[in-house]
Every structure is written in C-alpha cells, then in structure tokens.
Amino acid sequence: MRKKKGVAYDQLLAEGNEVGNAKVMDIVDALLTQTKAIESAVSSLGLTAIAFEGSELLDSPVAVFK
C-alpha cells in the first residue's frame, strides 16, 4: 500500500504509531462508507440483497498456515 514511500503496512499498524494507525482507520472507515453506499444502491434498485464473501485470513487465521 505505502511501500513505495518506505512505510510498510505492518509499520502503519505498529503499536504507538498514531499517524499510521489513523491512516489505516481512515481507509477502514472509507471502505465501510463505500459498503453502505453499495448496499443502499442495491436496495434502491430493488435488487436482491447482496452478500459479501469472507476472507480466509479473517474467517480462520489459523487455517492460513496449515
């Protein structure tokens, strides 16, 4: 994500990195806003409700390393 500027994603998440943490949270918040907008558009168009697929890593982090 920001590797080109010398800051790796895990560094943004590091404990005590308030600026990095804030950047990551801004991205998460923007994605949540986007998701709500998509859900609203789906509803407005009268389409069948949509379901978002999970992530193997988020659904079962231990399974990723098996």
Say what the pTM is: 0.62
Q: Which residue has the higher pLDDT, 56 or 12?
A: 12
The confidence score (pLDDT) of residue 37 equals 94
CB 20 within 8 A of CB 7: yes
Would you state the pLDDT for residue 2? Answer: 47
Residue 38 in this model has a pLDDT that exceeds 80: yes
Look up residue 42 and give its amino acid.
Answer: V
pLDDT over 50 at 44, yes or no: yes
32-37: average pLDDT: 92
Q: Is the pLDDT of residue 53 over 80?
A: no
